[in-house]
Copies of this chain bind each other. A is one copy, B any other.
Amino acid sequence: MNDIKQFLRSNALRPTKQRIVIAGYLFDGTDKHVTAESLSTELAKRKHIISLATIYNTLHDFYENGLLKKLTLSADRVYFDTNTDDHHHFYSEKEQFLIDINKNIKVNGLPKTPRNKKINKIEVIVHLDK
């Protein structure tokens, strides 16, 4: 609890009740993939009712501070990943199936980066099923 407060403060985030609850859930040591909706549902199960607007705000605040990764898997919702290490994913849109690939994946044969651009990240999505 106090460590969560410190954790938030050290990321320039004021430790409000809501952020403490959300951080407590997200950063409990196990990797998680959440959407705004799924996070809201999980917190509700734990009797923590937080408005969706705040959930969106908080996910973005955490993301902006590098505490979450944003995943671009399908066009109809945004996923956030508590595993911020460089890693990739298996994904099945149909089954909403999503698991980390933590192994060291190597992408070989990339052409030159376009002039005046810099690579921000390389995302490998292994789509399962059709």
Residues of chain A touching chain B, judged by Cβ–Cβ distance below 8 Å, are 72-78, 90, 92, 97, 99, 101, 103-111, 113-114, 117-130
Query: Could you say which of B77, B92, B105, B114 contacts A128, with CB atoms under 8 Å apart?
Result: B114
* CB pairs A–B below 8 angstroms (17 shown): A72-B72, A75-B75, A90-B117, A97-B114, A99-B114, A101-B110, A103-B111, A105-B108, A107-B107, A117-B128, A118-B129, A119-B127, A120-B128, A122-B124, A123-B123, A123-B127, A124-B124
User: Do A126 and B119 touch across chains, with their CB atoms under 8 A apart?
Assistant: yes
Bound form: Cα–Cα A110–B100 in Å: 11
User: Do B110 and A105 touch across chains, with their CB atoms under 8 A apart?
Assistant: yes
Besides A97-B114, A97-B117, A119-B126, 20 more A-B contacts (Cβ < 8 Å) are: A72-B72, A75-B75, A75-B76, A75-B78, A90-B117, A99-B114, A101-B111, A103-B111, A106-B107, A106-B108, A107-B107, A107-B108, A113-B126, A117-B129, A119-B128, A120-B129, A120-B130, A122-B126, A123-B127, A124-B124
Chain B residues whose C-beta falls within 8 Å of the C-beta of A72 in the assembled complex? 72-75, 125
Chain B residues whose C-beta falls within 8 Å of the C-beta of A111 in the assembled complex? 101, 103
